[in-house]
Structure 1
Amino acid sequence: MSYFSGKIILLTGASGGIGKEMMYKLLEQGAKIVTLGRSPIVRDGVEHLTVDLSQENSILGLESALYELERIDGLIHVAGLQQAGVFMKQSPEALATMMQTNLIAPTLLTRLVLPYMSKGCFVAYIGSVFGHIGFPYYAAYSASKFGLRGLSEALGRELEPLGIQVCHIAPRAVNTPMNDEKARAFMKATGSTMDEVPEVVQAALKAIEAGKPHTIIGGSERIFARLNGGFPKVVSKALRKATQAGRDIF
């Protein structure tokens, strides 16, 4: 029997990309899914709660709907926004929306869900390797993902005595529409590797099942992240080529 069989799991970002594939795989493994988002998803085994993750009041309005659920065994937060480009050219509105969706939303949602969880439940966040490495032309995105990693780390230590596991999964670049033409050109110019969605989902579900507090997807990225933690000047030097490439692209 699958680890996820019979579990009631809240899932954000299920309308496309990683979240959609995650939904399919969890259903295949016998989970019952409650999707959270603006667009209803009609599928056997799926219940939907409408919420706009870019709006705090919309998230807080979920409390009564959560109370009506039979129980909550897991929360997987996939939803996120990415905007690459010159920081000074990005609008304040776009920056605020990205921070709200990528960091404030999972923080508030987790706070709402935790009272319905007990020993054996889990919370999982799909972050990014850019939450380990501050990458040029991804300043605000990196900031939001650094924050998500911090939330996961601190919350995991807080909830461990209660038997609730917290997992943070950090993919490298993923082949989804989130990466537009300029972002793809930037990745090509910097020699970045792009993974396919099924590979990322498989690794993420494996990490959740194993109860790993933190997983970086990608061997070289894992090494680079560790290097950045101890020797950031070395990484800054290594990223000079990326910075120059970004000037030409963005």
Structure 2
Amino acid sequence: MNNWKYGCPQVAFVSGGGSGIGLNLSRALLQDGASVAIFDLAVSDALLVELRQLCRNGQRVKSYTVDITDPEAVDEAMNRAAAELGAPDFAVNCAGILRTAVFSALRYETFELTVRVNLIGSRNFAAGALRHMQPGGHLALTASLAGICGSYTHAAYSASKFGVVGLAEVLRTELKPQGIHVSVICPGEIQTPMLAEERKVGSPVTELVNEFAGVMPVDKAVQGILKGLRQRQYMITPGFRARLTRALARKATTLFHWIVDGKVAQGLALERRKAGNA
């Protein structure tokens, strides 16, 4: 498994490592031989015991309770992690939230919270990690396919993730002369607890629109993400359907809008029929 282009990381910083993509990446990094620092709002003792069972030959895994939206707290936690585990040669931000509603029903507070966690949190993570990262290091920010193309009810989420893609583009440009690689992860929908919660309250229209790119099991998605990270690709989108969606959104905008508009019209018509039969 240790097939990283420039060698397996020795120390990895992972935010949002207590669940979903972040947890699965943490497991993979441990299996590849890295020590891992996890930054999250909470990581259970049982999970830490499980992750520590993966450690070999002096590897360590430690968790740091931190709110990714608090820049001073993030800096302090990363300072402690660097002192205890060493400077990171790999850092990936997976912390994020998903809140959906049509824009006219989207509260300001919800919009602001989504931007603070997803975009400002990415800024805080990058700033904290780069204080310690040396040339040869690799920084990765998790955005979304929603950071390439907007979807129904995704005003807050897409705005924040478009911002993450823009931030990553600037960091790639600025850090390349310093010998630090940058990746931005732009997956479609992945079967994670975050998506499961959204499905309970989200719009069926959104689900219909997003089915074009498909939904990936988390283990398969992480395999694709890891492949891109190991090769130090800049933009990583696992899955053929998601990559096709990304290509259409970027290179065939008129066709892509026609497809999305058709899906939205179909979904709204279904909603009206259901309401009429209720």
Q: TM-score, normalised by structure 2?
A: 0.81
Note the C-alpha offset of 1:129. Answer: 0.8
| Aligned-residue identity in percent | 24
Give the superposed CA RMSD: 2.3
- C-alpha change, 1:184 and 1:195, in structure 2 (3 Å) is farther
For residues 64-86 of structure 1, the C-alpha deviation after alignment (integer angstroms, 9 at most, x for no partner) is 42552422111111111011221
Q: Which moved more, 1:95-104 or 1:184-193?
A: 184-193
Q: Distance in 1 between matches of 2:200 and 2:25?
A: 25
Contact 2:152–2:205 (8 Å) recurs in 1: no
Q: Which moved more, 1:237-246 or 1:160-169?
A: 237-246
Q: Distance in 2 between matches of 1:184 and 1:100?
A: 23
Note the C-alpha offset of 1:207. Answer: 0.9
Aligned length: 249
Q: Who is 1:196 aligned against?
A: 217
Q: Who is 1:224 aligned against?
A: 245
Note the C-alpha offset of 1:163. Answer: 1.4
Q: Who is 1:8 aligned against?
A: 11
Matched letter for residue 89 of structure 1: A
Structure 1 residues 29-44: aligned runs within 5 Å: 29-41=32-44, 42-43=48-49, 44=52
Q: Who is 1:72 aligned against?
A: 88
Contact 1:66–1:113 (8 Å) recurs in 2: no
Q: Which moved more, 1:199-208 or 1:65-74?
A: 65-74
- The structure with the largest alpha-carbon Rg is 2
Pair 1:235 & 2:250 matched? no
Q: Distance in 2 between matches of 1:111 and 1:246?
A: 43
Q: Who is 2:276 aligned against?
A: none
Residue 62 of structure 2 is aligned with which of 47, 51, 73? 47
Residue 178 of structure 1 is aligned with which of 188, 194, 205? 194
Q: Distance in 2 between matches of 1:132 and 1:114?
A: 25
Q: Distance in 2 between matches of 1:124 and 1:6?
A: 13
Note the C-alpha offset of 1:170. Answer: 1.1
Q: Distance in 2 between matches of 1:81 and 1:161?
A: 32
Note the C-alpha offset of 1:137. Answer: 1.1
Contact 2:70–2:124 (8 Å) recurs in 1: no
SS class of match (1:147): helix
Matched letter for residue 202 of structure 1: Q
Matched letter for residue 189 of structure 1: L
Consecutive unaligned residues of structure 2, counting only runs of 5 or more, are 53-59, 273-278
Contact 1:137–1:246 (8 Å) recurs in 2: no
